[in-house]
Structure 1
């Protein structure tokens, strides 16, 4: 039904509007011209019936017949053009990709402007029609492409809602991958350190070193127990990137812990330290942790250099170890997931990670962006912003010099320059109307009110131009209703937007030489014009609330629903992994701690003999190896699923 109703309505609007404009402009066109124009309007709108199924041919027909209608009338005071062709261009932008939309915009704009060019007699008319025409067609194209993106986004969300089980499975799989990566990072690092260090000390037989190794094993085991308990907690894993001290506090602690285990680590920071996003801090910490773990496994005893550089827009992490002193590593304890997990973390943030040989040793270098990855270059939202700003900022200055009665025709150059500058500046806040709608509306209201109060009494022409530019307030009120943060009331927007109207009307009335001066003039003018402004702006507020606001609300609700379903699946994975940890890895780690504590008690002379130390160290090594093997089995099970 809409395929036929829209063309019929537009046809009536174009024919009736053209007749009204002809009467107002005193245009006298012959019957033949009118019949030709009406025929072109009918054909252009008839083509719109197929605008969804064949948008390209429809646009070609609508543009051609619209241009012929203007030429048939022989005047620009007609609605024969700019209506049906705009609807056809919008449909093309909705149903076709960016390239087709841009070509359609160029063709429609060129033909539309070319049709009216022979009918324009002055430079001011030509400039006004060119600027308005270009901005108009760009605005229509941007709205169509944004509608296309919105429909695709809605379809994707609807598909996610419909595929509940698939979403649950995907969430469970993603959580398994995350838990496997974090489990490897948290437990593999510490347990491998215990195995390497304990095995090396056991071969020396030095009682002092044995006691130090047992103490380090006990401390490390307690850290593993704490970290694994946090890992499967209902609130998620401990986040090294969210701590108050950030990397500047956490990395020194990590490196000092390894130094106690006999690994020579040098840590250096470069650049101005700053607080990182939690996910960036976590990734940087895990990259250093995993790299140090690999250095211990494959290059025991080799010096390791850790460098963290803060650069604009990113943090760079480098971990470089020298060549190993001997072949005392324990490569069999590796899980094969270290470098892959680090690279996944970096790429998930939009960064990079390189790992490979370096000067006989090994080097890992990661670049992690400190700001969320976004779209490169301007997109259709920015195009729409530019078109809106251009229209609202340029229309009043252009109309100020448009014949036959230019508003600033008699003003001096200085006055004209001042007025034009003020009118251009007032459009700038609209650039941020979607990202910061309330500040944009407040800035626009403040600029207009200040101009009316400070300049209006001296340059009355400015007051009329401010009223001509009132669509800027309509756009800003619409933006507040549609783009304000959820939960923030938007009903004050029409009242705030009506404030500059009330001030402008009141100043115009108060400075009018012919107006009667009464005590109630100013209060009455403020109240009446303010109420009028609110009544005019309320439909735009309701429009934004109903269209943009409701759509964003639906998307937010859908995203919350999908997130909740995924959260349920993720929590189930956490519970299952927690059971596996408690039955295997945590149990062996606890046994390792008890063996180390018992060995410390024996070597201190309070019970047992000095021979208890090596035996305890062997038990510690055995339990650490068992915990690593259990962890690897759990990781393999998660990977198989």
Structure 2
């Protein structure tokens, strides 16, 4: 199966998401147009009876044409606005202008909304002051101010409030996405440094061992071979150093399976007892795989202490064929913790990225009354482990609670 770059998958996912969002917004715009038309149809009998040369059918067609411009309210909100002003001057129809002002405030912001509202009020007042309009001449100015002005201000105000809320939601989504990307990048960096620590150590051992053998075989045909082997190992180590940049502050290497009992003890001290079961075969994992197991279990125990304090956590680590399987399970708490746990929400992203970098998958979520995290990836057994150690089974009961 050919390898598909993660960047390509991300771009395709983004394109699909945007396509779905466009279809959703188009549907909402159509609903807005139909809603506006349904409200304006209530005025058709009055429009047909007034002196405007319209029948019921022609009035309906005119109003339908005006309402149809609302499908452009996101891309070109000024189009329904200008049409609404035309209907206001011709038929004294106020419904469409409300939708148009809301659309400008919602999709163009405060400045455009205020400008559109002032233009609407000025246009309506010009109609009110136009000579030869008996319906306006008979009405006092207070009637104009009590109807036209609130209609425009309220519609625009609601639109601007929705615009600001959209910005808040977009900012929150952007922050969450940025935090997730940072967590993924941090995990990739951590994986790279673990590779450097583990592989670099082995290369150093190889170089030293080859140099020792070259000294021992001095004067023989094999001396040159051992010297070339030592030189190759040193060059490989230098290339590793150039590829993976060290952090400025030194740190100890991430533990492997031998560090899990200490994690379990720490979790118990925090009030969450741990049942830790490790298959004998898992102890033959390569150092890089053991580091990944440690990181996944560490994050799971941290999350359990935050969200399900006091609940027993079961950790099962074993092999299914050639694949490593990690199951971390804890009962869902009967009630929420008394205080909201401090969490960045990126731990699962980090775990998933760690496992994905190993060619595996990770799932996390509620399952049969418990919260369960399951990570599966290639085993990469580095050494043969003798079976038969008491208390360390070859096969695990994955349904164990």
TM-score norm. by structure 1 comes to 0.23
Higher fraction of helix: 1
